[in-house]
A and B are shown apart, each in its own frame.
Chain A
Amino acid sequence: MTLTAPGSILWLLAHEMRIYWRNFRAGRAGKGARGLISLVVVATMLVGGGVLAALGLHAVEVPINPISISLAALVSAVVFTLMLSQTLSASSEALYDRGDLDLLFSSPIGPAKVLFVRSLGVAGGVLTIFALILTPLLLPSVIWGHPGWIGVFGVLGALALASTAVGLLLAMALFALIGPRRTRTVAQVMAALVGAAFFLVSQTRTILGVQKSNSLFAEITRQAQEGRLHPAPIVGLPLRAMLGEPLPLLALLAGSAALFALAALTLGRRFSDAAAATQGKTGARPAKATRGDARRAFASGPFLATLRKELLLIGRDAALLSQVLLRVLYLIPTALLLSRNAGHGTGAALAGGAGVVAFLAGQVAGSLAWITLSAEEAPDLLAVSPARIRTLRRAKLTAALVPVALLLVLPIAALTWFLPAVGAWTALGAALAAWSSGLINIWHQRPGKRSDFKRRGGASWMATIAEMLVSALVAGATGLAVAGLWPWALIPLGLAGASLLSLRRSDAQIARNLRTR
């Protein structure tokens, strides 16, 4: 039996890679010239950056000292957290999204082998994403003067294997602790938290305040200058491996491969049992009626019924929740900065912060409005009902705005407590940006699937750009108003209004646009 014989690990891996590649191509299909142009632009920028870096670093020898060792370890930790957020999500999907698992499990191939290959696929997927970004940036330096830096790819591979192992272990632990249904939700939320961890750590200074925290880099430098920084030898492995030293590189690869093998093979049996346990129950909640459920009256009329339905669907969408959570996490440092400045008086940071809150409110509302308006799962049901389309749209827009309002109510209330005028301007700006994004999504609906939310794959290109533009203009107006320059705020506000007027579509135009798709 050869290595590539049907049923072998390599054969299965080739199958996984073919499916992965075809899904990737299918995802890119239809993007046409626009997709190609953006790909070329990004690639050119990356290669340009790589060439510039090679020129600058040509004669630079990276010293091996406590600072560089600590920084390399820190960068590795950051990459690891980013990879972990992907592998955790992918591991829970491997368990849940049946795909061809039923077919493979019904074949004579052992489930442990199937899941080992799937785990390799998770590691390969995350490695590919990082390698695609890193290769054009690093390769010019490797070719021109620093061949040893090829070791960075080895470190990347080791991190991919290790993060997959930890992702699998976490998914299994969640499965054992909270059961199959909640694993997917919690894994998605955890992935968002892990993904944002680097950003939040980098914002420590913003979150804790200048007096309470120095930046991590400054702290490392200070400790090194004072001679207090003595990293353990193991901490030096990433830097030495990145610089191409064979033994550290081998040690890292062997360690991560062992961890991966332990997770994928030792847990393979339990993982396959867990995957089998999910067969036929793709997340159905056990039948139990709470007293509140049984007593609760039905919503009255199309508006309330649609609003309730949309809010239920938003609340039950794990992927959507994790994406919104991610955006909220990115909002935390800004919100804290805003409240701290509010405590101390006004300033440029306060105006900027208010603008950021308005902008993010517009962006989150735009995404949710796309989900509620365009990603309708049963459009025919609404079409055959006698409910007025305007009533339904109003309900769907309200459903998109409610979560934004809930997210912002506390920070804006706190802000208003300190500075009522600033709070009022920020609330007004956030409301206006959110409402504008919602309107744009009504006028430029483009039916899509809820599962496309993560990449807004189904959203209208024009709506996405317009949302961003109008949110930015309203954010600018908010910032100017907070800074006390409210007459100047009328300029971006007027531009936002003009943009909205030019984007406006009548009911007949919306209907015609939907019919022609």
Chain B
Amino acid sequence: MKYSLLKIIHVTGLTFLEPIVRLCYGEEPALQLKKIGRFIVVPVVAVLVFVGIWNWGGPQLKTKSGEVPTPGVVAEAFRGVFQFFVRENTKEDDYILTGETRQAELVRVEQRLNDLAALKQSADARVAELEIGRDEFLAKTVGPVQKELNDLSEEQTSQEKAMLDAIKQTAAGITEKSSTTDREALIAAMVKYNGLKKVNNEKLKRIQEKLTNISSVKYQPYLDALKQQTNVVEEIIFLEKRKELLTVGNRESKVAQSEADLERLKSEFATATGAQTLGLANRIVKTEERLQTMEKSAYAKPWTLPLQTLRSLACVFTGFVLATMIAVPIGILCGLSSTFMAAVTPFIAMFKPVSPIVWLPIALIIVGGLIPDPDNHWLLHVLEHLPLIGWMKINPAFIASAVTVALCSLWPTLVNTALGVASIDKDHMNVARVLRLGFTRRLVSIVIPSAMPLIFAGMRISLGVGWMVLIAAELLASSEGIGKFVWDMFNNGSSATFAQMFVVVFVVGVIGFLLDRIMIILQRLVSFDGAPAAI
């Protein structure tokens, strides 16, 4: 048990867990505790320090999308994103519910709505109550400053007015006979007046800034109450929508409605005469058509982050498989033949540094050229009707993103494969020569197995690069996925969406980490010198 656990830890590379396992089996507790201190406590402390700095530093930075969200706000946003996903799924299910289950669900929704009505009342009351508190709070904090501002402004206005009046008088006093000194005095007075205005404005501005700062200090109880209220209202809106989807908006009832319409039209048609029949016939045909599409229709669900993440994963996987399929054979040829290597080197050198931002538009245009009419292309039709990936609605933008991922990520695999093949143990090649193995057997029995660890090391780097490139590609190509989500949130520009972009940072990071882990495990499993194939 202990050793198989340690083996799993070793293969997965989660070595920080090792001291815990050893400690559980009572092996050198002092040493294990020291290791736990170093490899678990220290990282945890570092994370806590980071969260602390973030929590303090975030609000210091004010942007047009509000303050930089604190960890708490981001966690809240994460919950929001997930709730949106769950609610949209519920709506989708509601739309196609039929018969008994639909009624049962409706009853539950209505019950909850009743409960919420009471909740909303108390929430409203609490808000109203706290509004007074907030006003008092504002009066206490903002009031004096506001008064100061008002007083100053009044004082300044009268001061300026007096000065302007004096200047006006002087101006009126100037006649044709007035000397140049008088005229210059007027100009000097004007300069003085302007100077005063500027100084006054400065003073006013400073106090106004003070006022903004003070009024931005929020009255927390009120905000909490407001949030409570918003949550209740959101749930009510959600449930109202559900109610609609379970009743009039439901597919079953919509179909029934259309069927009834059709019945009525048909009976009218049976007794109609002359020109009337033409119009009725037309309406009957239209209704029948509508009925057909309606029977298969689904709730028009918006994209949600979890589904976009899955689509991104599918996209990166497609690109990664494509890259591997290109890179491994070419890499093997490169490793086997230095002539072929010489032929391929210029392409590697030239294309490797090209950024995804350049590949993507090219890929978009080429894919667009290959699939000129996406609505009627056989490939996309086939993909749309496949189980598991049909919902992803694979489109040219998806394919272009995958191609971009492939183009950017195939290089590490190619180079590593070539290196792995070229650095095969010379003794092993001698064995092949003595046994006089043919090309295929040499490839299958010796070349590929011995290059496997390096091939997988390359693939691991490729997958990391691909995942990084993909987000940018999706953002540019507007292909539904994490990149598109970020772009939409950026364009939305509210403080809530700002926090959701932070959520994406963690989603991308965690998934990237997991992909890397999976590749490490695969790499260990194919390494002949490492762990045995079975855990």
Tell me if chain B binds chain A.
Answer: no
Q: Tell me the B residues contacting A by CB distance below 8 Å.
A: none
